[in-house]
Structures are given as structure tokens and as C-alpha cells.
Structure 1
Amino acid sequence: MIRSTARATASAGHAVTDPPEDRGDGTEQEPAATVPAAGPGRRRVRSIGVVIALTLAGVAVVVAVPWGEGGRPAPAGTEPKASTVKVVRTDLSDSRALEGTLGYGTPQTVKGTGSGMVTWLAPVGTKVSRGKALYRVDDTAVPVFYGSVPVYRNLTARNTVGRDVRVIVDNLRALGYDTGAQPSPGEVVSVTVPADATASQESEQKSEQEDEQEGEQEGETEGPGGGAGTPAGKGTGSAESAGGVTRVRVGSGDGVYTDALVNAVERWQADRGVPSTGVIEPGDVVVFSGAVRVEGASAQVGDPVAGALLRVTPTAKAVTVQMDVSEAGSVKRGDPVTVRLPAGTSAAGKVTGVGTDAEQPEGGGPESKVTVTVSFVDQRTVRKLDSAPVQVEFVSETRDGVLAVPVTALLALREGGYGLRRADGETVAVKTGLFAKGMVEITGTGITEGTRVVTSS
């Protein structure tokens, strides 16, 4: 015999059940459970449907019956109201986040030149600006000058022309010395070569002529481009004028070693306590693009000056990012970035350097990396941090003024592609563009700014 039992439970457990009936044959019939009607003092139970379970021949059938507001059955075909959003016109940008390190940028090694012994090095953490000593050689200070070209030769001949001369002009002026007027670009000046240099030059030319004559006698003279007649890379018109005087045209960015500049150099040398020779040699100053901060030492007091001495960085804080070579091709100087800081805040930055020397990452890896340097638009945003791990967001693609909707509004169409369901129930096929931060660029017939479309969230 199959016994079927139905039970109903009222709110708060107040079920009312009649006692079993006596059937007269020794068996009892379970009475049907009754649910009390809602009334005063009883909690009304609100439900969205009734589920009736029937057991017929061992098969369970579940029927869901929808109910509407106030406990009344909902009309057939009624569906919950869908959420809608407006199509907006906005700017979209796709970005990728890479791990970076906040610090002072990539260190640069400072190498000494000439002879002498290192007698002092600026301590680690020191910031050295224009005119201040970075190290001392034979107890003579070597100051920092600002510029883009190092002093690569002895500046001694009057009217010597070059960008290295311009570095001397600009820095002495900045330090308060009167360097006099400079010839304008396009002017021609006469450079007087010192007598000892002229004699050396004449001796060299005489030796070259003798070698050329010997080569002609032995049939070994080579044609243009090198050989005994004209050594490769050496000009033949460097002493065109008699008496060691050469006429040179001043170019853009050049400086001229005038008499007034020589006098300024002599005054500067006297103020430093060194002989007032009016001559500047390569080891007398060290040139950077701006002030530097000493990160570490590569030498120690007592070492020869020729060699690596210090490691320096810019004084402004920056972020360095190790980026795959294949990705670095899309990054260029001046690109805007967003730096995510440890405290959950962010700071605006821009790319100020993209390395050209690829290196294999530590521990190996599938691809070599280059160093990308990011500077902050406002240094005050990181004034409380000296070093920290950060994330840098690089914008890889941007769309300005496009129509966009949340990605959750897209519908996959049976015939392929995507569509949007408008608030009036019509589904419209759309073409998608850039996906970025939960939004997607769309275009389609009947879709304009402000159109309401259905979304799943």
C-alpha cells in the first residue's frame, strides 16, 4: 500500500491538525492538514509562487505557478521588468598595467678622466647642483655643469667654436660671471691655433707627405677613402690658411671661446682657488642635464681618477618599468600614464625615457626587456615616498567621442555578431569596436546617443 502524506505548516509553526479518524477496520486515516487563514494577530506569508509536488507512479512532477502582488496570481506571460541604460557618447581608452618601481630613475655611472688621485666623493644621498663639487681630484674640486655635451677637448685657442664651448658660456653666466657678447649663428670667426699646435700640425703633415712619396715609389698608394695618401677619417683642409689661422662659421647651438669668455674663465678659476690659466680641460668639470643625486660609489678615496667613480640619478622621483621588447615598440616619450601608488591613490605621469639596450630578465624569461622611465607630472604626489612597488597603466588605444554601452548589454545573435535590445523590445544588430573597462564602442542603425537599451545588470 502506498501512503500519501501532505503537510502544511503555518507561519511561526502554528499548524492546526485534526486527530486521526478511526476507519473501523483497525487502520487510521491521516486527516488533511489545514492552513489557518490570515487574520488578526497572525503573520501574513507572502510568496512568489506555489510549488505542488505530485508523486505518480514514482515520477516527481514540479509545477511552478507565478503569483503577483498582494498574493494574487500574476497574469500569464508576465516577466520581470528589465533594467535599461542609455547609449552614451564618451571617450574610451584601453590600457595595460605593468609592475614598476618608484625611486629616482635609472642610475648613471660617472667616470673620471685624466690623471690624479681621488681625494673626496660626495656622500650617498647628496644632491649636487650646478657649480657644486661632485668629487675632488688631488684635492681640487670637480663641479657639476648643466648641458648636453661634455667638455671633450682642451679649450685654449681663441675663437674655438663648438657646443662644448656653449656649455661653458651658459654655466658661467648662470653662476654670475660676465662672459661678454657671443657671435651669432652664421658669423665667421678666425681661430688662431697656438704655436705649439701649429708646429705639431706641420710636422704631422710633413710626415704624411713623406709617407705618400714612399708609397708612390713602391706602387702602394691607395685611392680615395684611405691608405697611405690620406688616412681614413682625417681631413686634409684643417690648416687652409697660413700662419695657423682657420676661418670657422658659427652654427646653431655653438659657443665661441672669445677673449671675454676667457677672462670669465680666469675669474672663475681664481674664485675656486686654482691657477687662472683661462684653459679648461675635460676633467675640470662634469656635465649633466641637471642636478643629480648620488646613489652609490664605484670607487673610494685613494683610487686613480681614471675609471668609474660614482652612480648618480636625477633628483626628481621617477618610476622604472621593465617592459618586453615587443611591447615597448608602442610606447614613446611623452605618452601619458597613470601610476597606482601603494596607498590606493594614483598620480599622473608621462614617459620620459625608453631604453634601447635589451637585457635578459633575472631568472630567465621568454623575452628580453628594456627599461621604460616614467616621471611624475607633480612631484608633490609622491613627496612621502622614496621607494615603493607601483603599477603603471599604459594607454595602448584610444577612441574619442564614440557611442558606447556596458558590455552586459550585448546580445549574441543567432546569425552571428552582436545586437542590442532597445527598450521598445526591438533587437538591433550593432558593430562593436574598442572594449575598455566594462564598456564597448558600438555603431548600428537606430542606435543614437540617449537610446535606451536593455542590460543584464
Structure 2
Amino acid sequence: MILTNTGKDPAADARKSAAPPTTTEITRTDLVQSKTVDGQLDYAQRRAVKSPVEGTVTKAAEPGRTVALGQRLYERDARPVVLLYGSTPVYRAMKAGDRGPDVLQLERSLRDLGFGSGLYVDTRFDAATKAAVKSWQKSLGMTEANGEVGKGDVVFQRGPVRVVSADAALADGIGPDTKVLTVASTKPVVRAQLDQADRALATGGTTAEVSLPSGGTRRGKVSGTVVPESSDGAAEDGAAASGDGDVEVEITLTGGGELTEKDRQGTLSVKFVSESRKDVLTVPVEAVVALREGGYGLELVQGRKTRMVQVETGLTADGRIEVSGAGLREGLKVGAAEQ
């Protein structure tokens, strides 16, 4: 904002008779600094799923499908690869005599699926665990229900997942270096691009208002930035973007309301709110003048008389600026520069 030094003194003669050619009123309102960009609906925490063992895809993953505990993600060598819940990834086959956090996850999942009769949930793969695994394998229609869990038979994730893409098609060979599918959480998020100049808006917690193609709005907050997929194909959410290009921002939606297919396919309008001030006195930016002795002032107009008063300035947005000072109130007239 460039302000002109008018040379006026706050102690100037209040009996001045010439009113300014243009006046405006002090108003009380909310000021919001914002930036609006286009966005797309997506899902959080994208990650790749690979097969720890080699084989052939005999039933591919289904993009767009939500997979929950005990359901099949895909099939390898006519054998179902099943989603179970847990934070420790699969790193071995599991059999009687094994101990570890993976066994604990397996037993919790079996219990929650209804195969926990006589099962004590702990880190030990014992006879009760083997019996539960056999019952579970039979329910899946596996011809080899031997009570052992192969290294490539299950995928551990923290909860239900949405299949984003099937990266390996029917009859494709897969293995430890092959991405079979990409999954994400079932929590919808909005992704939007910001110019490098607006990088400050990518700060976690920045408020956003999302206008949906189906109508209505949803509030949200910036939960992180996203960098492109790494060399192994895994997306890295929540990491800081680098370089001089655009910044891709992830916004977590708050509040309820179902999202429609139109929302998923259409372009959303995302309004980032970088700063806001509620119920403050404001004037047009051009009404504020720089004072000779320093600081800023307003020329108050009372009938045909005017006087200069010193003010403190605050947030600027949409051509208006926040002002405060002794004697200021809503409705007072002030001089304004001619447009």
C-alpha cells in the first residue's frame, strides 16, 4: 500500500471550512485475506502395495472399490491376497512357534473377523492361532488350509482402504519390485495447486472453504503438502514440497455431508483464508494518509469542518483497511482520495 504524505498535522485548525471533495464512511465489518484456486477431490495417504513374493495376477484389483478387514485386494496364483489391520508390514510367513507384532495383528484381525474362539490375543502363534487360521482359510475357499500364513497372503494396513489404481493387470507377473495397486485411506481430501508466491498458505492449519460442484460448501484445513511420487513409486504425503514450482496442497475436510459422484469428478473452488479480523472498523485504503510526523491518519468530516486524527492500521483486504483510534466509531465520515 503506497500512502501519500499530505503534510497535514493532527493539531491542524478544526475550523477549516473547505470539506474534501469526496467522503466515505467508517464501517464495521469482517476483513478476510484470501486466495481462490481450483481443486480436485482425492483421498489421503496414498501408498503403493507390492507383492513380497513372485507370482501372476489371476484377479486384478478394482479401482474405486473400498476394501475392509478380511476382504480381498487381488488374487495371486489363484490365491486371495487379503487386507488385515495393523501398522507393521508383512515381512515373513507366519506359522506355529513364531512370535512378534505381526502375529499380534494377525490374531486381532482373526478375532474381529469371528475366528477367535479359544484364541488368546498375544504375540505368540500357538495351536489356537493355527486353528483360527485354518478356519479363516477355509472360509476364503483356499484349497490349502494348512494353518500357516504365507508371506504374500495378507497385506496389513491401518484400516479400510480405497483402491486408487490397479497397477498390475490380469496375467501380469508381479514381485517385490512391482507395484500391484495403489491404495489410499477412505478419508476424502482436496488437492489444490498454489503458486510459489502463495506458499505461506500451504502452512498446516490454514483455513479453507471448498465450494462443491454439487452445490454447497465444506470447510477444511491444510493438512500438508504433497511431493511427486518417489523413484519406487510411493507417494509421499505430508512432506514439504521443494524447488521453485507450484506447491500441491492437501486439505482435510471438516464437518459432515456426503460427497457425490459429481463432486468427485468435477472441479472444486478452494478459498484459502490466510488471515481474518472479525467486527473491526474499516475504511477504503485510499482514505488513509501518511502524516508528516509519522504514522497514519484520517480526515474526519463534521459538516463543513474537518480535522485530522491519528489512527492505527491493521489488516488490508478487498480494498479496505482496518483502523482504530480514539474517537473512531461506525458511521463517521472521512475524506477519501478521488478515484
Listed one character per residue, the Cα deviations across residues 123-160 of structure 1 (whole Å, up to 9, x for unaligned) are: 33333222221211111111222333322223335461
Which residue number in structure 2 is paired with residue 403 of structure 1?
280
How many Å apart are 1:309 and its aligned residue?
2.0
Specify the alignment match of 2:52 in structure 1: 113
Superimposed CA distance per residue, residues 277-311 of structure 1 (whole angstroms, 9 cap, x where no aligned partner): 33323311123344333343322222223122223
Q: Distance in 2 between matches of 1:266 and 1:303?
A: 29
Is residue 173 from structure 1 mapped to residue 111 from structure 2 by the alignment? yes
The aligned counterpart of 2:207 is: 336
Q: CA shift at 1:417, angstroms? A: 4.3
TM-score after normalising by structure 2:
0.71
Name the structure 1 match of 2:25.
84
Correspondence 1:347 to 2:286: no
| 8 A Cα contact 1:409 1:453, kept in partner | no
Tell me by how many angstroms 1:117 deviates: 1.8
**8 Å Cα contact 1:358/1:369 also seen in 2:** no
**Matched-pair contact (CA < 8 Å) for 1:324–1:367:** no
Give the stretch that moved more between structures: 264-273 or 290-299: 290-299
Contact (CA 8 Å) 1:325, 1:358: kept in 2 or not?
Answer: no
1:149 paired residue number: 88
Q: Distance in 1 between matches of 2:21 and 2:197?
A: 50
Q: Which has the higher strand share?
A: 2
Distance 1:455 1:172 in 2: 76
How many angstroms does 1:433 deviate by? 1.8
How many percent identity over aligned positions?
30
| CA pair 375-439 structure 1, distance change in 2 beyond 3 A | same
| 3-state SS of 1:113 partner | coil
Distance 1:256 1:455 in 2: 81
Name the residue aligned to 2:151.
282
Are 1:123 and 2:65 counterparts? Answer: no
> Is 1:452 matched with 2:320?
no
Q: TM-score, normalised by structure 1?
A: 0.55
Q: Is the 8 A contact 1:420 1:453 kept in 2?
A: no
Quote how far apart the aligned CAs of 1:119 are: 0.7
The equivalent residue for 2:12 is none
Compared CA separation, residues 167 and 403, structure 1 to 2 (3 A)? same
Q: Is the 8 A contact 1:409 1:454 kept in 2?
A: no
**What is the CA-CA distance between 1:370 and the residue it aligns to?**
4.5
* Residue 419 of structure 1: how far off its partner (Å): 2.0
Alpha carbons 2:297, 2:311 under 8 Å: kept: yes
**CA RMSD, 1 decimal:** 3.7
Alignment partner of 2:272 out of 361, 382, 394: 394
Partner of 2:323: 442
CA offset digits 1:340-366 (Å, max 9, x no partner) = 33477432223344225599xxxxxx8
In 2: Cα distance, 1:407 partner to 1:323 partner: 28
Report 1:257-296 matches (<5 A): 257=125, 260-274=128-142, 275-296=144-165
Asked whether 1:161 is paired with 2:29, we answer: no
Question: In 2, are the aligned partners of 1:113 and 1:282 still within 8 Å (CA)?
Answer: yes
Kept in 2: contact 1:353–1:372 (CA 8 A)? yes
- Report the structure number with the largest CA radius of gyration: 1
Q: Is the 8 Å Cα contact of residues 23 and 335 (structure 2) preserved in structure 1?
A: yes
Aligned residue number for residue 5 of structure 2: none
My pick for the range that moved more, 404-413 or 321-330, is 321-330
The CA deviation string for residues 192-247 of structure 1, in whole angstroms up to 9 with x for no partner, is xxxxxxxxxxxxxxxxxxxxxxxxxxxxxxxxxxxxxxxxxxxxxxxxxxxxxxxx
- For the pair 1:320 / 2:191, whether they are aligned, the reply is yes
